[in-house]
């Protein structure tokens, strides 16, 4: 086997390993939000705090989300810059910018490999009938199809991505 082919296979294997890790991390975070009974009101407060810190310090937060591929959803990773939170007509929407740092198609991306994308998220409570009528807070992207279950980690923040926000 040629060395270049071997290296390419190894890099592909690393990408699949990273995908498996992110899938598990995303599912674990979803389970924790369900167990903690996080409501859309609390989630909205968290996003407002992120928007405030973003405006003052240029803070971007690590985010995990699911992207639909045919019949399967796979976790993706990125950095989210929250611009503002809008509550209108019983709906809460978040205007933000997303800088993707991992998806299965592209593998690992360094900031700047892909341009930051302006997105709109919606925060809402979802009724889980199979879980004895429990509710779970959910954050989905509404300006495009397929990106759902955003989990934004408030404790993983960086302020050095401002140059990519343009």
Residue 117 has pLDDT above 90, yes or no: yes
pLDDT > 70 fraction of the chain, expressed in percent and rounded: 98
At 97 the pLDDT is: 96
This prediction has a pTM of 0.91
Cα–Cα distance for residue pair 138/42, rounded to 1 Å: 11
Using a 10 angstrom Cβ sphere, with 0-12 exposed, 13-18 middle and 19 or more buried, the burial of residue 163 is exposed
Distance, in Å, from the CA atom of 67 to the CA atom of 69, rounded to the nearest integer, reads 6
Across residues 8-31, what is the average pLDDT? 96
Q: How many residues does the chain have?
A: 166
User: β-strand 134-141 against 117-128: which pairing, if any?
Assistant: antiparallel
Residue 156 sits at the vertex; the CA angle it makes with 117 and 48, to the nearest 5 degrees, is 65
For the purposes of burial, counting CB atoms within 10 Å of the CB of 62, is it exposed (0-12), middle (13-18) or buried (19 or more)? middle
- Report pLDDT for 93: 97
Q: What is the mean pLDDT of residues 7-32?
A: 95
Q: E strand or H helix at 5, and its extent?
A: helix 3-35
Asked if residue 110 has pLDDT above 90, the reply is yes
pLDDT of residue 131: 60
35-82 pLDDT, tens digit per residue, is 898 999 999 999 999 999 999 999 999 999 999 988 899 999 999 999
Q: What's the mean per-residue pLDDT of the chain?
A: 92
Percent of all residues in the chain with a pLDDT value above 90, rounded to a whole number: 78
**Residue for token pair 């933000």:** 96
Reported as a pLDDT band with limits 50, 70 and 90, residue 164 is confident
Take residue 126 and report the two structure tokens written for it.
């979802």
Is the pLDDT score of 126 beyond 90?
no
Could you tell me if 101 and 78 are in contact, meaning their C-beta atoms sit under 8 angstroms apart? Answer: yes
Provide CB contacts within 8 A for 150, sequence distance 6+.
63, 64, 65, 80, 121, 139, 140, 141
Residue ranges with strand state E in 43-133: 60-69, 72-88, 91-103, 107-108, 117-128
pLDDT at 92: 96
Q: What is the pLDDT of residues 129-158, one digit of tens each?
A: 776 677 889 999 999 999 999 999 999 999
């Amino acid at each position: 086997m040629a060395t270049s082919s071997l290296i390419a296979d190894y890099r592909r294997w690393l990408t699949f390993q990273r995908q498996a890790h992110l899938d598990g991390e995303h599912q674990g975070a979803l389970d924790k939000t369900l167990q903690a009974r996080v409501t859309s009101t609390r989630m909205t407060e968290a996003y407002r705090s992120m928007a405030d810190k973003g405006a003052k310090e240029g803070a971007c937060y690590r985010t995990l989300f699911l992207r639909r591929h045919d019949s399967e959803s796979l976790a993706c990773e990125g950095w989210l810059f929250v611009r503002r939170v809008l509550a209108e007509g019983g709906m809460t929407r978040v205007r933000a910018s997303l800088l993707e740092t991992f998806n299965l198609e592209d593998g690992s991306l360094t900031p700047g490999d892909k341009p930051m994308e302006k997105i709109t998220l919606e925060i809402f409570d979802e009724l889980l009938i199979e879980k004895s009528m429990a509710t779970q807070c959910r954050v989905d992207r509404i300006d495009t199809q397929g990106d759902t279950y955003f989990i934004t980690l408030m404790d993983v923040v960086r302020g050095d991505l401002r140059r990519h926000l343009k």
